Amino acid sequence: MLIVWLALTLLVACVLALGNLSDRMGKEINQQSCEFLTGDRVLRAARPMLSSPIIRAAYGHN
């Protein structure tokens, strides 16, 4: 009977540990996905961006 009780205790401990691990991983994945969604960068330059030939061509400026 002692072996069955120990096996059941070990089984419950493993299930609780795996549940805790999956919760933590789910929270981390959600946090990282939010960072990717809001991860826009701001570009700054010493001179105006319209001075670039590519941007002037895109916006039709001469």
CA dihedral of 9, 13, 18, 21, whole degrees rounded to 10: 180
- The answer as to whether 29 is a domain residue is yes
Name the domain count of the chain.
Answer: 1
pLDDT of 30 reads 83
- pLDDT for the residue 12: 95
Residue 27 lies in domain:
1-39
CA dihedral for 58, 59, 60, 62, sign (positive or negative) = negative
**Cα–Cα distance between 2 and 55 in angstroms, integer?**
77
8-57 tens-digit pLDDT: 999 999 999 999 999 999 888 888 777 666 656 666 667 666 556 676 67
Instruction: Please give the pLDDT value at position 18.
Output: 95
Q: Kindly state whether residue 46 falls inside one of the protein's structural domains.
A: no
Q: Determine the length of the chain.
A: 62
Considering the domain boundaries, does residue 58 fall inside one?
A: no
Residue 51, pLDDT score? 59
